[in-house]
């Protein structure tokens, strides 16, 4: 069994990692850290895990983690992982970071959206963990930068079409809606019940820090500079994300062209599901799962392709994809621990 440490285990993404990995057939949880709940049993923080995970949360200790783990998940806010990861990497452990600290190979792009980077030497070798796109690189990586939830929902429907030259990259507009858990577990006025309930609003319009992440990957896949217009919204539900993307076809395009492109690109990828052409994705159908459902509509009257994707922002948008990346890195079955289906109601 491979030993796993989760740094930041009591945040929303960290808790999802604990939930998934507590039943993973190839791993055993050995260390859970939490600054706020050090000395407290995990199942006291999350009573839903009673009888399943009784590990006591502890303060971060590099020596303990390096002695007790083979794989480390960093489920911490941006800026903290870059301080911890270099020591862990030096000890030969594999690391999957759920923050933005290792999503960029170009330090200037990272620093333009976040803050000065203190582990620049690792950026050239880190791999962007979009599981279905960079599978081969992930299999041989030691350090993975797990994608953001919004980029996952935007990139998965776009990349196959961009790579095949079916879309004009200069025309991309993405409109995305996220549940409140995307803001994390820390208290803030923006995620207070009274601020969110009965409310639906856009925020950080054309200024969200996931925008450079999407631009960077889209430019890589299009092999030329791409800048997508991105508008995120907050909806009054706990979890789930729906993204609608508008693009102009690069040439004459029909429904079968799009179906063939997706079918060819994702035919052997278990967590991508293409909706029937007479239906569209629904966040209800991916809740609590690692699936990304993709639908589309050709608007012939306006010469526009409309793409719609749905994910669970805490699973495919965070912890689920992180475990999928671990499975690839370690040579496990890609679906190990992840074959959950959503409740039908």
Question: Which residues does the annotation mark as catalytic?
Answer: 149
Q: What's the rounded Cα separation, in Å, for the pair 59 and 197? A: 35
Would strands 2-7 and 201-202 be described as parallel, antiparallel, or unpaired?
Answer: unpaired
What distance, in Å, lies between the first and last C-alpha atoms of the chain?
A: 36
Q: What's the rounded Cα separation, in Å, for the pair 156 and 176? A: 14
Select from 135, 240, 117, 137 the least CA-distant residue to 182.
240
Select from 173, 160, 295 the least CA-distant residue to 222.
160
Number of neighbours of residue 235 by Cβ within 10 angstroms: 17
The two structure tokens encoding residue 250:
């690069």
Phi (first) and psi of residue 316, to 5 degrees: -60, -25
Select from 307, 288, 198 the least CA-distant residue to 240.
288
Would strands 143-145 and 94-97 be described as parallel, antiparallel, or unpaired?
Answer: parallel
At residue 232, the 3 state secondary structure works out as strand
For residue 148, the 8-state DSSP code is P
H or E segment at 64?
A: helix 62-68
Pair 113, 209: CB distance under 8 Å: yes
**β-bridge partners, 94:** 71
Q: What's the rounded Cα separation, in Å, for the pair 200 and 179? A: 10
């Amino acid at each position: 069994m491979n030993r796993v440490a989760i740094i930041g285990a009591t945040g929303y993404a960290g808790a999802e990692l604990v939930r998934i990995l507590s039943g993973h057939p190839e791993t055993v949880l050995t260390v859970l850290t939490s600054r706020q709940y050090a000395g407290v049993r995990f199942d006291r923080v999350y009573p839903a895990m009673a009888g399943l995970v009784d590990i006591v949360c502890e303060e971060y200790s590099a020596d303990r983690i390096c002695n007790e783990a083979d794989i480390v998940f960093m489920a911490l806010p941006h800026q903290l992982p870059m301080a911890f990861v270099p020591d862990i990497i030096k000890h030969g452990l594999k690391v999957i970071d759920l923050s933005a600290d290792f999503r960029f190979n170009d330090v200037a792009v990272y620093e333009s959206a976040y803050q000065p980077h203190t582990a620049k030497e690792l950026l050239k070798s880190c791999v962007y963990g979009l599981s279905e796109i960079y599978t081969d690189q992930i299999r041989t990586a030691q350090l993975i930068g797990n994608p953001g939830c919004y980029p996952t929902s935007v990139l998965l429907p776009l990349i196959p079409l961009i790579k095949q030259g079916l879309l004009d990259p200069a025309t991309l507009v993405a409109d995305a809606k996220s549940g409140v858990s995307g803001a994390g577990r820390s208290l803030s006025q923006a995620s207070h019940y009274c601020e969110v309930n009965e409310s639906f609003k856009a925020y950080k319009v054309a200024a969200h820090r996931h925008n450079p992440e999407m631009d960077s990957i889209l430019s890589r896949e299009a092999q030329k500079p791409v800048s997508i217009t991105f508008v995120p919204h907050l909806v009054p539900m706990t979890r789930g994300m729906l993204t609608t993307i508008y693009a102009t076809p690069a040439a004459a395009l029909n429904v079968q062209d799009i179906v063939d492109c997706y079918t060819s690109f994702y035919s052997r990828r278990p967590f991508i599901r293409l909706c029937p052409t007479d239906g569209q994705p629904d966040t209800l159908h991916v809740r609590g799962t690692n699936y990304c459902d993709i639908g589309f509509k050709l608007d012939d009257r306006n010469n526009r392709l409309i793409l719609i994707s749905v994910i669970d922002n805490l699973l495919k948008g965070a912890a689920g994809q992180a475990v999928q990346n671990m499975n690839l890195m370690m040579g496990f079955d890609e679906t190990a621990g992840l074959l959950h289906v959503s409740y039908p109601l």
